[in-house]
Chain A
């Protein structure tokens, strides 16, 4: 007998006026599933989720939730008692002036939760999310991660059977995100919940039971995450090679990522050996080192799908030719020089003696949880906020006292892209040219330069607001570059942009840095992007706690914690408890996978196999995995947080 689907869409379409937001979607979510909608801003995720929650009318197709056809406002009402909906925007649906507990109480009363039941459930959820100590704090004073967890409690307080969470992790740092996923996974298992969750982070895909990849209102692919990777019929070949070999690869393979001398090649071939051969037909076997073949990651599959949609994108950007400025003297040629930069806001020390240097031609990533002090560092360096102590110099000068000539060597692109959406592409560029004091003939010339290099031809008269996110982001970068700065600050430049757009963007950044010698300092929550930086600094509690290349950071971490082993199973919860019982206390669940760190992989493998066999879980796969930047980031921050707590506990005694 077939289980009735909890959510069932067929031929579902949603339009806003003439704009089609969602087009002809057919999708099933089974009871008990954690179902993911993955896509960039404007993919149609929110419209779909609002329709499922019964708060948005749609034009075509059918939508059944709990077997009820949601075709009118009245029909949607009975379903609402059984579902919880958390709209997009970090904590925006909560009431800022109410405390944590008052927020929870309000949602509970709204949902007619009996007082006794409310008391026990509230305590349990507060404890689980570790918000109990903050129950009397006004919601507006919570951190991003805490707001997100409070939102989850409020959505869950009436014990719904289905929860719909719209981008709950957007704008939240990797540590808080992992925390959130652990809590959500646990709740889903405990309560037999069904969850429809959207995200713009592809690296969260492995956490879903099933998912749909969305782009421009369509579902490009759906299914279980692992099967999506397998069904793609492709392999990733990783290798190290010299520059000429990499160039040869780039001309043969359309989908290729390079970083220094390393390449990841997407080969459309369903066999490891053949895939390897296809690569080796292009370059001499002798020029390829440490070659390995992998299943593609979901991001690779997504990019391949997007590529098939827009095979020859006329808008492929081509950035070159930053005009050489006179060499900048001072600070031993450092583009950015921060020495014991400190900033206090009242009693609160936002940045605590942060020191680092960025060279010309380098992409420098500043990582850290929300509130770690990243934005304040950028504000001090760009001269917006004066430091309380320490030195911050950019292009050889202190930005606070720098004259116009030096300020013109610096470009800044903010998170919100700060474009005027009512202006056309051309008008935005001319406006920024004017702001930087370029005279009309030069401004016109630079505008044409940016349009050509950014692949924005033909869009000059288009209103910026109607551009897709990827193009808007390139235009924002163009505006930051119109005066051809030597140092570029980018604050979360790629949030909300699809993976193709992000790859184009990074191609531009690499060209700017490596060919034109521009120094780039950026912040990001995408750990895959952190991996592509030339140098990283990790901030925690206002301090710079690690400063190295990505490879060095991973190597340091390996030396300290050992090799990463991944156990893949259809029954991750049982695997986790089996491993914990066998003495792997720090085993962590990561979607369907369990991660274990060990210094002795050989003996650990044997012990894990024995433990799994003893629990009848012998079908689980065991793989030695390369560390990702996310593993490093999360573990480092967690370790720092726990020592921080201990230190504070001691100081209180």
Chain B
């Protein structure tokens, strides 16, 4: 390897990047834009969900129960459908959830029996459905206890089950603070997603552009080695991405207000290895394809599918199916996510993650080797 040539390649790359406004925008605006966009987009918070209540008991207790549900900003009451039309109300979107209070609600409540209230939730958006269910269950538990003790007090009977005083006072806002929770958990995870997407994209665009214009022949017809060329593309992108990592950290800390609990230096080291691995993936794709369109499509689709489905972003990997666990092992996101979560959220020390670090390091070497094997200076077409 010749360092004069490598420096020439890196220098030219930097000059081009700095002068190409579109590329510059792509390089520095896209990561933060993605972070902010996904940061809001992925929040589990829900407000004013359309809720219908079918009350067949028509009692004071059932009316009060319903009223309590709508005392928060989470639910908005919509007209109750006929019991036979419950499902249609959900499918046509007029309600996201339907509660059915059967007759005998107050009677059973008074007698201290368990009351069954049927709930039907729109399951099209699994995440939102789960959240709605959580809200309802939580509120139901709280209201239930309040109402039961109120009724028992009215009737002068001793409470069949001792009810802790504190539970009654629980504020739903406390228990169900989804906005805060989702951003805290998600923001560091988004570093994984953004850095899975952007570096391969930048690399692929810059290599395949040279293939399209024919300037790749300057390299192919010269004595530049394949490794020099690949490193000449890799290093500027890694440098840009590390600057981006700082921008991401600033955005998460100051815009979203989530501070890093672990060591920033350790975080930077983990990010560096991760970026080397994801950029290497970009090199691999660029070596194989011929048009920018194909390069952009492949890197973007891979990044989005891998980082959302096979990284442990929404569900922990160790509970996933074996096949999914295997796929996750093929991409760097799954190794990086526990590290970034651990360091950022829990203040974990990097030494805990040495298997992941080692995996990423080997990963980076392997993809670089594959790219080197796939890239040729003398091609067949």
A interface residues (Cβ-Cβ under 8 A, vs B): 16, 50, 53-57, 72-73, 76-77, 80-81, 83-85, 87-89, 92-95, 97-98, 102, 106-107, 109-112, 138, 154, 164
A97 touches B378 (CB 8 A): no
Given A57-B379, A80-B222, A112-B2 contact (CB < 8 Å):
yes
Q: Which residues of A contact B7 (CB under 8 A)?
A: 109
Cα-based distance from A89 to B215 in the complex (angstroms): 10
Chain B interface: which size bin? 20 to 34
Q: Which residues of B contact A77 (CB under 8 A)?
A: 223, 377
A55 touches B378 (CB 8 A): yes
Choose among A87, A94, A98, A110 the residue that contacts B222 (Cβ–Cβ < 8 A).
A110
Q: Which residues of A contact B214 (CB under 8 A)?
A: 87-89, 92-93
B217 at the interface (CB under 8 A from A): yes
B20 at the interface (CB under 8 A from A): yes
B372 at the interface (CB under 8 A from A): no
Given A56-B378, A110-B5, A80-B223 contact (CB < 8 Å):
yes
B379 touches A80 (CB 8 A): no
Cα-based distance from A16 to B11 in the complex (angstroms): 36
Q: Which residues of A contact B379 (CB under 8 A)?
A: 55-57
B215 touches A111 (CB 8 A): no
Question: Top 6 closest A-B pairs, CB basis?
Answer: A109-B8, A85-B221, A97-B19, A55-B220, A73-B378, A87-B217
Q: Which residues of B contact A109 (CB under 8 A)?
A: 4-5, 7-8, 11
B376 touches A73 (CB 8 A): yes
B381 at the interface (CB under 8 A from A): yes
B221 touches A84 (CB 8 A): yes
A53 touches B221 (CB 8 A): yes
Within B1-21, which residues are at the interface with A (CB < 8 Å)? 2, 4-5, 7-9, 11-12, 15-16, 19-20
Cα-based distance from A361 to B375 in the complex (angstroms): 57
Q: Which residues of B contact A110 (CB under 8 A)?
A: 5, 8-9, 218-219, 222, 224
Q: Which residues of B contact A83 (CB under 8 A)?
A: 221
Within B366-381, which residues are at the interface with A (CB < 8 Å)? 376-381
Q: Which residue of B lies closest to A89 (CB)?
A: B214
A54 touches B378 (CB 8 A): yes
Given A16-B381, A97-B15, A110-B222, A55-B217 contact (CB < 8 Å):
yes
Cα-based distance from A73 to B225 in the complex (angstroms): 11
B221 touches A106 (CB 8 A): no
Cα-based distance from A94 to B222 in the complex (angstroms): 14
Given A53-B221, A55-B379, A111-B222, A97-B5 contact (CB < 8 Å):
no
B215 touches A93 (CB 8 A): yes
A80 touches B20 (CB 8 A): no
| Chain A nearest CB, measured from B106 CB (Å) | 72
| Chain B nearest CB, measured from A426 CB (Å) | 28
B213 at the interface (CB under 8 A from A): yes
| 23 cross-chain CB contacts under 8 A | A16-B380, A16-B381, A55-B377, A57-B378, A73-B378, A80-B222, A81-B223, A83-B221, A88-B214, A89-B214, A92-B214, A93-B217, A94-B215, A95-B15, A95-B16, A97-B16, A98-B12, A102-B12, A110-B5, A110-B8, A110-B218, A112-B4, A164-B221
Q: Which residues of A contact B220 (CB under 8 A)?
A: 53-55
Cα-based distance from A50 to B220 in the complex (angstroms): 10
Q: Which residues of B contact A93 (CB under 8 A)?
A: 213-215, 217-218
Q: Which residues of A contact B2 (CB under 8 A)?
A: 112
Q: Which residue of B lies closest to A154 (CB)?
A: B218
Q: Which residues of A contact B9 (CB under 8 A)?
A: 110
Choose among B4, B217, B378 the residue that contacts A85 (Cβ–Cβ < 8 A).
B217
Q: Which residue of B lies closest to A76 (CB)?
A: B378
Cα-based distance from A98 to B8 in the complex (angstroms): 13
Q: Which residue of A lies closest to B380 (CB)?
A: A57
Number of A-B residue pairs at CB separation under 8 A: 92
A-B contact sample (10 more), CB < 8 A, given A16-B380, A110-B224: A55-B378, A56-B380, A56-B381, A76-B377, A89-B214, A92-B214, A94-B215, A95-B215, A102-B15, A110-B8
B15 touches A107 (CB 8 A): no
B223 touches A107 (CB 8 A): no
Within B177-233, which residues are at the interface with A (CB < 8 Å)? 213-215, 217-224
Cα-based distance from A81 to B218 in the complex (angstroms): 12
Q: Which residue of A lies closest to B215 (CB)?
A: A93
Q: Which residues of B contact A107 (CB under 8 A)?
A: 218
Given A97-B16, A112-B4, A55-B221 contact (CB < 8 Å):
yes
Q: Which residue of B lies closest to A75 (CB)?
A: B378
Residue among B16, B218, B220, B221 with the most chain A CB within 10 A?
B221
B5 touches A98 (CB 8 A): no
Within B234-288, which residues are at the interface with A (CB < 8 Å)? none
Q: Which residues of B contact A84 (CB under 8 A)?
A: 221
Residue among B9, B219, B381 with the most chain A CB within 10 A?
B381
Choose among B16, B19, B213, B377 the residue that contacts A92 (Cβ–Cβ < 8 A).
B213
| Chain B nearest CB, measured from A292 CB (Å) | 46
Cα-based distance from A53 to B217 in the complex (angstroms): 9
Q: Which residues of B contact A73 (CB under 8 A)?
A: 376-378
Cα-based distance from A97 to B8 in the complex (angstroms): 16
Cα-based distance from A88 to B214 in the complex (angstroms): 8
| Chain A nearest CB, measured from B377 CB (Å) | 6
Cα-based distance from A98 to B9 in the complex (angstroms): 13
Q: Which residues of A contact B20 (CB under 8 A)?
A: 97
| Chain A nearest CB, measured from B347 CB (Å) | 44
| Chain B nearest CB, measured from A17 CB (Å) | 8
Q: Which residue of B lies closest to A86 (CB)?
A: B217
Cα-based distance from A53 to B376 in the complex (angstroms): 14
Q: Which residue of A lies closest to B212 (CB)?
A: A92
| Chain B nearest CB, measured from A612 CB (Å) | 42
Cα-based distance from A92 to B214 in the complex (angstroms): 6
Cα-based distance from A97 to B4 in the complex (angstroms): 22
Cα-based distance from A74 to B113 in the complex (angstroms): 85
| Chain B nearest CB, measured from A282 CB (Å) | 51
Q: Which residue of A lies closest to B15 (CB)?
A: A98
| Chain B nearest CB, measured from A253 CB (Å) | 43
Q: Which residues of A contact B5 (CB under 8 A)?
A: 109-110, 112
| Chain A nearest CB, measured from B217 CB (Å) | 4
Q: Which residues of B contact A138 (CB under 8 A)?
A: 19
Q: Which residues of B contact A88 (CB under 8 A)?
A: 214
Within B332-381, which residues are at the interface with A (CB < 8 Å)? 376-381
Q: Which residue of A lies closest to B376 (CB)?
A: A73
Q: Which residues of A contact B213 (CB under 8 A)?
A: 89, 92-93
Q: Which residue of A lies closest to B221 (CB)?
A: A85
A80 touches B16 (CB 8 A): no
Cα-based distance from A407 to B12 in the complex (angstroms): 49
Q: Which residue of B lies closest to A111 (CB)?
A: B222
| Chain B nearest CB, measured from A586 CB (Å) | 38
Cα-based distance from A76 to B221 in the complex (angstroms): 9
Cα-based distance from A94 to B12 in the complex (angstroms): 11
| Chain A nearest CB, measured from B216 CB (Å) | 8
Q: Which residues of B contact A55 (CB under 8 A)?
A: 217, 220-221, 377-379
| Chain B nearest CB, measured from A144 CB (Å) | 16
Q: Which residue of A lies closest to B381 (CB)?
A: A16
A106 touches B377 (CB 8 A): no
Cα-based distance from A87 to B218 in the complex (angstroms): 8
B217 touches A95 (CB 8 A): no
| Chain B nearest CB, measured from A411 CB (Å) | 32
| Chain A nearest CB, measured from B378 CB (Å) | 4
Q: Which residue of A lies closest to B220 (CB)?
A: A55
Q: Which residues of A contact B377 (CB under 8 A)?
A: 54-55, 73, 76-77
Cα-based distance from A408 to B214 in the complex (angstroms): 40
Q: Which residues of B contact A92 (CB under 8 A)?
A: 213-215
| Chain A nearest CB, measured from B261 CB (Å) | 42
Cα-based distance from A92 to B211 in the complex (angstroms): 11
Choose among A57, A81, A95 the residue that contacts B12 (Cβ–Cβ < 8 A).
A95
Q: Which residue of B lies closest to A95 (CB)?
A: B16
| Chain B nearest CB, measured from A428 CB (Å) | 24
Cα-based distance from A164 to B218 in the complex (angstroms): 12
Per-residue CB proximity of B1-45 to A under 8 Å, as 1/0? 010110111011001100110000000000000000000000000
Per-residue CB proximity of B285-315 to A under 8 Å, as 1/0? 0000000000000000000000000000000
